[in-house]
């Protein structure tokens, strides 16, 4: 057990620093996954819809050089 109050402060500050680090890493990870991620079973419905649009001819490969 720490004997001086300054030891308690040091432990508390270390715990806060570690907590912040974990929080920040997790926040960045979530943000990155929000922006860029893989398509998996969760996205199957959307993928199927897009593929159906291609299969039905509703969507054609874009031939233009610029977006309208």
Partner 1 sequence: MPRAPRGSGSPRRPRARAGTPRETVQSGSSATPPRVLDARPRKVTRLAVLPQPAALGECAATVPRFRIFIIDSGWNSSAHKVLQENFGLIRELQKEDPIYVLSKDQSIEFMRHHQERIGREPIIAVHDLAAMDKSGTTDFHGFRLHLGLLRTPQQALLALQNFTRFLSTHRQSVDLEAEIRTDLRREGLAGAIEIILHHEAREIGE
Please give the residues from 44 up to 63 whose contact with partner 1 meets the rule CB under 8 A: 44-55, 57-62
Shortest CB 16 distance to partner 1, Å = 14
Q: Is the dihedral of CA 7, 8, 13, 18 positive or negative?
A: positive
Check residue 6 for interaction with partner 1 (CB under 8 A): no
Check residue 32 for interaction with partner 1 (CB under 8 A): yes
CB 59 within 8 A of CB 50: yes
Check residue 19 for interaction with partner 1 (CB under 8 A): no
Q: Is the dihedral of CA 31, 37, 41, 47 positive or negative?
A: positive
d(CA 43, CA 53): 16
Binding site for partner 1 (CB under 8 A): 21, 24-25, 28-29, 31-55, 57-62, 65-67
């Amino acid at each position: 057990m720490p004997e001086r109050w300054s030891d308690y402060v040091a432990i508390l500050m270390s715990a806060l620093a570690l907590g912040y680090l974990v929080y920040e890493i997790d926040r960045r990870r979530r943000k990155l996954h929000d922006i860029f991620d893989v398509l998996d079973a969760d996205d199957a419905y959307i993928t199927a819809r897009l593929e159906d649009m291609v299969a039905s001819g509703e969507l054609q490969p874009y031939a233009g050089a610029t977006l309208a």
